[in-house]
Amino acid sequence: MTTLVHAPSLTTLSEDDTLFRDAVREFAQAEVAPRVARMDADESIDPDLIASLFQLGVMGVEIPERYGGVGGSFFAAALVVEELSRVDPSVAVLVDVQNTLVVNALTRWGTPDQHARYLPSLAADTVGAYALSEAGSGSDAFGLSLRATRDGSDWVLDGRKMWITNGAEAGFFVIFGTIDPTLGYKGITAFIVEGGTPGLSIGKKEDKLGIRASSTTELVLDGVRVPSENVLGEVGKGYKVAIETLNEGRIGIGAQMVGLACGALEHTLRYVQEREQFGRPVGEFQGVQFQLAKMATDVEAARLMVYNAARLKDEGAKFLRQSAMAKLFASRVAQSVSSLCVDLHGGYGFTREYPVEKLYRDAKIGTIYEGTDNMQLQTIAKDLFRG
């Protein structure tokens, strides 16, 4: 039976995108797949695997070649996330945050000096993290309490950040704080903070339902001194850095959810051809076939929405509504498909012997991080009324 990775829509990829996608696919099967169960149990990504991700080039897809990156497109980064997610969404989100949030923010808002200082290491060996959320600011992204106080030519940061993906591995942080809470969103400023800076420490590591190998941590900032040249963008313009970067990041999460759903369905397609009941493979029963057909249709629709949003971004066209729609739909598809795949595995699907159980757990986060479903609906509605 033909698998979903050969879906007709993928034939429209450029030759470079196809070659890159195929290289990532082979890497995922050879290097990631054998480690998935152990990393999930250990709640950490194998450091050797992270080093291999840098060597493959997927940690710097959009970083220009002169800085050691691939010099690829945003669309190529989305393809990487999709392919890795077919095997392990935990590994995929490490790569996704690096590319669609951290590198994207730095390349778009950073100065030439910041590019020269930080892009080479982000392409070569340094994991990045994006620190916006706090205990009291989730969907209300700009209700920040982390304070940035001017001291001479430096800024001093004090406060805590929560839910920080890649927190345990990162050596480079984009951290958002407010210079004056009374200014509201106009006080938000983004700062580049290097790992190992005095006063910066990693706090609690969350014990999660899914994507357990991906670290999600608290950051503690106690008198962290940051030079003024490490302001990312302009003072008081951090809200623009955050909004525009997250709009792009939602496409990456959509790609993660598409890959996850595709992986669950591919495991199930194989299983229903091997599992026999009543003297024949369960995949021969029309009721099972119809469920598979519906899932394949939903996955393909989600994929096309993600691809469309990524291409609009690369073309410099408006993509706010499309990115929110892609994340919303792909996240819901990932949940429904992975759940039904567990059902079609029967009792085996409820055990850790088969990979659909993990993918089912991993799917839940898609409707939560980088904007909940309700926040995506709000974004879509507002954009509709703008005309």
pLDDT one-digit tens code per residue, 114-172: 999 999 999 999 999 999 999 988 788 788 999 999 999 999 999 999 999 999 999 99
| HEC-encoded secondary structure of the chain | CCCHHHCHHHHHCCHHHHHHHHHHHHHHHHHHHHHHHHHHHHCCCCHHHHHHHHHHCHHHCCCCHHHCCCCCCHHHHHHHHHHHHHHCHHHHHHHHHHHHHHHHHHHHHCCHHHHHHHHHHHHHCCCEEEECCECCECCCCCCCCCEEEEECCEEEEEEEEEEEECCCCCCEEEEEEECCHHHHHHHEEEEEEECCCCCEEEEEECCCCCCCCCCEEEEEEEEEEEEHHHEECCCCCHHHHHHHHHHHHHHHHHHHHHHHHHHHHHHHHHHHHHCEECCEEHHHCHHHHHHHHHHHHHHHHHHHHHHHHHHHHHHCCCCHHHHHHHHHHHHHHHHHHHHHHHHHCHHHHHCCCCCHHHHHHHHHHHHCCCCCHHHHHHHHHHHHHHC
**Do the Cβ atoms of 256 and 339 come closer than 8 Å?**
no
**pLDDT tens digits, 167-189:** 999 999 999 999 999 999 999 99
Q: How confident is the model at residue 12 (pLDDT cuts 50, 70, 90)?
A: low
Q: Where does 240-386 sit in CATH, by number?
A: 1.20.140.10
Which pLDDT score is estimated for 139?
Answer: 82
- Active-site residues: which are they? 370
Q: pLDDT at position 341, please?
A: 98
Residues of the chain with CATH 1.20.140.10: 240-386
In the chain, CATH 1.10.540.10 covers: 4-127
pTM attached to this predicted model: 0.95
Cα–Cα distance between 139 and 373 in angstroms, integer? 10
268-298 confidence digits (pLDDT tens):
999 999 999 999 999 999 999 999 999 999 9
Q: Taking residues 298-326, what's their average pLDDT?
A: 97
Cα angle 208-210-211, degrees, rounded to a multiple of 5: 100
How much is the pLDDT for 4? Answer: 55
Domain 4-127: which CATH class? mainly alpha
Give the CATH number of domain 129-236; options: 3.30.2350.10, 1.10.10.60, 3.40.50.1110, 2.40.110.10: 2.40.110.10
* pLDDT digit string, tens, across residues 196-216: 999 999 999 999 999 999 999
Q: Is the pLDDT of residue 7 over 80?
A: no
How crowded is residue 362: how many other Cβ atoms within 10 Å of its Cβ?
Answer: 30
When pLDDT is averaged across residues 37-47 and rounded to a whole number, the result is 98
- Answer yes or no: are the C-beta atoms of 144 and 176 closer than 8 Å: yes
Alpha carbon of residue 217 to chain centroid:
15
- Looking at the chain, the domain(s) classified CATH 2.40.110.10 span 129-236
Q: How far is CA 328 from CA 116, 297, 302, 355, in A?
A: 36, 16, 9, 24
For residue 11, pLDDT beyond 50: no
Q: What's the pLDDT at 132?
A: 97
